């Protein structure tokens, strides 16, 4: 007995419909992830700002609170680290590895950067605080990281960071590490 050709096409038509539905669903999934990829950076920034995660510090100068009392009953060790992109010809370092500060007192550390190349360098320092929860209590009053810096060939510059560790920082945190990474902001024309 021979099967009519019309009945043989029914399963292949059903398979084609399922394949088309699957392709449409996969297309929507791909579009969702492309949109999600573009939304990641703003979402990440909002989450970091709300939760204080990732050790992000203030990006503009804060005004020192005149009513803040210095807590002389304890001190916090603040460590300073510096990094620069490999191969850009910078020598970047703090004047000291660490200092002890009393919460509430205004403190200062200088960083020195030397452009060891024969080209103009335009860059910006990006700060990070460890532990991340301490970032909301580390208040920068003045910082070279607030704007891009331009260095001439062979130029050396000393740049300050003036800060206060807020006395509201939990007593369990005895050490805070401030780390700067200096990135090339734009390719300078020679």
Q: How far apart are CA 7 and CA 13, in angstroms?
A: 10
Superfamily of domain 54-186: Ctag/Cox11 (2.60.370.10)
pLDDT of residue 39: 73
Q: How far apart are CA 4 and CA 21, in angstroms?
A: 28
- Tokens 């803040």 found at: 68
pLDDT of residue 49: 60
Q: How far apart are CA 117 and CA 146, in angstroms?
A: 24
pLDDT of residue 188: 47
pLDDT of residue 15: 86
Per-residue pLDDT tens digits of the chain, which is 190 residues long:
565 555 556 667 788 888 899 999 999 988 888 877 777 767 766 666 655 555 455 555 555 555 568 889 999 999 999 988 888 889 999 999 999 999 999 999 999 999 999 999 998 898 999 998 898 899 999 999 888 999 999 999 999 999 999 999 999 999 999 999 888 886 545 4
pLDDT of residue 16: 87
């Amino acid at each position: 007995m021979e099967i009519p050709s019309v009945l043989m096409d029914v399963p292949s038509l059903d398979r084609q419909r399922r394949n088309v539905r699957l392709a449409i669903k996969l297309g929507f999934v791909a579009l969702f992830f492309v949109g999600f990829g573009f939304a990641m950076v703003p979402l990440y920034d909002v989450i970091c700002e709300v939760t204080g995660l990732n050790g992000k510090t203030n990006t503009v100068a804060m005004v020192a609170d005149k009513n803040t009392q210095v807590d002389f009953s304890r001190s916090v060790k603040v460590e300073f680290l510096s990094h620069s992109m490999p191969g850009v010809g910078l020598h970047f370092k703090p004047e000291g590895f660490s200092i002890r500060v009393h919460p509430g007192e205004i403190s200062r550390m200088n960083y020195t950067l030397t452009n060891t190349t024969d080209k103009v360098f335009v860059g910006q320092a990006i700060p990070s605080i460890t532990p991340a929860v301490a970032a909301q209590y580390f208040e920068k009053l003045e910082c070279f990281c607030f704007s891009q810096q331009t260095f001439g060939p062979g130029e050396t510059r000393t740049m300050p960071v003036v800060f206060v560790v807020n006395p509201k920082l939990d007593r369990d945190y005895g050490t805070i590490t401030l780390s700067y990474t200096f990135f090339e902001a734009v390719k300078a024309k020679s």
